[in-house]
Amino acid sequence: MNKLAVYAVSSHNSQGRRIHEGLPAGRSEFQRDRDRIIHSAAFRRLEYKTQVFVNHEGDLFRTRLTHSLEVAQIGRSIARNLCLNEDLVEAISLAHDLGHTPFGHAGQEALNDCMRDYGGFEHNLQSLRVVDVLEERYAAFDGLNLCYETREGILKHVAKKNTEKLGELGERFLQHKRPSLEAQLANFSDEIAYNNHDVDDGLRSGLITLNQMEQVSIFSRHLTQVKNNYSTLSERRMVYETVRSMINTLVTDLTQQSTLNIKNASIDSLAAVRSAPPLIGFSSQIKKEQQELKKFLHDNLYRHFRVARMSNKARHTIQRLFAAFSSEIQLLPAEYQKKFDQEGHQVIADYIAGMTDRYAIKEYQRLFTIAEN
């Protein structure tokens, strides 16, 4: 790791863990966090949780696992350029989707609707719940006992009604303070990864076309450069090269603009970061182009009728599972039944949110289908 900037998070200025532990041997506190996340059951389940396409639709589409790895790679590269804590950025990046439901955003929206009378459902808050409570690996504590700064980065936003329940993590929102630069960076790395890789997956699936993408300025500009430099490339390789070039432009712009923002704000400590406006960000031109790309994906990919049909099935699956478990607690596995008296419907949300796409489909079949001999 490069020498850290004075405003970066380090093991020395960290607010530490909720339960004190001795110093790790041969690694930093945030390397320990990263390692615990990678070894968690929730992280392994990301392999079978969807991004846009449901898991069984194809082996080459992104899953939550491959997406998280891509976010971590982008985040580490930018963190190195900004002299920030790479290990912290990586830990946040790898953990940021641990609380996501099966079936992507459709599953999250459905579970939030089901939980409306019981406090709602937020995937960021659920990711924090996974690392604070639900993982059961260690003898001395529930959860992973991660450092404050890792947990802060995982909880990038939260509904106001839940803020006061979060103790020290909630204080930042109540006081309108900013998270660390590492947390801000992980958030932007997520945006860079999912926008560009949804373009790749959307083109691969045939749900959007190259002709459509040529109407999007940032894609069109980079595609033209690729065609000028590599006129004989196949379309598939041309798409790869265009997406790669777009990511490089975004990483470069974010690095340069964030460096300028930090300099202009005269940031000289982690405390100054927390009191300043957001400092990690794109230039105005790139921000505009990113917004155009996001709108295009929303209108043409996420709302495509084939995606809408799958999303409708996903919502139906989540809603029926929730209704069945709510009406008959004995349908839950024994360990969840034991917790229901203390935690109520949150236990059902925990169980459903922890499912992979294919497990949710199988659980639906087990509950509602009578198999023939």
Q: What is the pLDDT of residue 222?
A: 97
Instruction: Reply yes or no on whether the pLDDT at 56 is more than 60.
Output: no
Rounded CA separation 307/356 (Å): 18
Between 205 and 4, where is the model more confident? 4
Rounded to an integer, the average pLDDT of 60-88 is 93
Q: What mean pLDDT value characterizes the chain?
A: 93
267: alpha, beta or left, given left = phi > 0 and alpha = psi -120 to 50? beta
Residues 184-205, mean pLDDT to the nearest whole number: 93
d(CA 119, CA 208): 37
Three-state SS string across 174-212, please? HCCCCCCHHHHHHHHHHHHHHHHHHHHHHHHHCCCCHHH
Residue 169 binned pLDDT confidence (cut-offs 50, 70, 90): confident
Give pLDDT tens digits for 242-279.
Answer: 999 999 999 999 999 999 999 999 999 999 999 999 99
Per cent of the chain over pLDDT 70 is: 96
Helices (DSSP H) in 39-103: which residue ranges?
A: 41-45, 64-82, 86-95
Helix intervals (H) in 265-344: 270-275, 284-297, 305-327, 334-343
**What residues have CB less than 8 Å from 269, skipping those under 6 apart?**
6, 7
Q: Tell me what pLDDT residue 277 has.
A: 96
Q: Which residues contact 313 (CB under 8 A, 6 or more apart)?
A: none
**SS3 assignment, position 298:** helix
Q: Are 297 and 198 in contact (CB under 8 A)?
A: yes
pLDDT(55) > 70: no
Instruction: Spell out the domain ranges in the chain.
Output: 29-308, 315-368
The answer to whether 154 touches 95, Cβ cutoff 8 Å, is yes
SS3 at position 102: coil
The radius of gyration of the chain's CA atoms, rounded to the nearest angstrom, is 22
Of the listed ranges 172-176, 317-321, 346-350, the one predicted with least confidence: 172-176
Average pLDDT over residues 38-48: 95
**Dihedral-angle region of residue 145 (phi above 0 means left; psi in -120 to 50 means alpha; beta otherwise):** left
Q: What is the pLDDT at residue 62?
A: 77
The pLDDT-based confidence of 221 (bands split at 50, 70, 90) is very high
Residue 373 has pLDDT above 50, yes or no: no
Tokens 């560009």 -> residue: 196
Please answer whether residues 146 and 17 qualify as being in contact, where contact means their C-beta atoms are separated by less than 8 angstroms.
yes
156 has a pLDDT exceeding 90: no
CATH number for the segment(s) 29-308? 1.10.3210.10
243, amino acid identity = V
Report the phi/psi class of residue 294: left, alpha or beta, with left for phi > 0 and alpha for psi in -120 to 50.
alpha
Phi and psi based region of residue 192 (left: phi greater than 0; alpha: psi -120 to 50; beta: remaining)? alpha
Residue 308: CB atoms within 10 A of its CB come to 12
With a cut of 90, say whether residue 161 has pLDDT above it.
Answer: no
Q: Residue range 312-336: average pLDDT?
A: 96
Which tens digits make up the pLDDT trace of 86-105?
999 999 999 999 999 999 88
pLDDT digits (tens, 9 = 90+) for 96-142: 999 999 998 899 999 999 999 999 999 999 999 999 999 999 999 99
Closest CA to 4 of 90, 81, 84: 84
Mean pLDDT of 165-192: 92
Strand partners of residue 147: 17
In contact, 55 and 63? CB cutoff 8 Å: yes
What residues form DSSP beta bridges with 63? 50
Give the separation between CA 8 and CA 80, rounded to whole angstroms: 11
Q: Is the pLDDT of residue 371 over 80?
A: no
| Contact yes or no for 65/155 (Cβ under 8 A) | no
Question: Would you place residue 2 in the very low, low, confident or very high pLDDT band (cuts 50, 70, 90)?
Answer: low
pTM, to two decimals: 0.94
Sign of CA dihedral 186, 6, 33, 161: negative
Amino acid 58: pLDDT: 45
- Decide if 60 contacts 2 (C-beta within 8 A): no
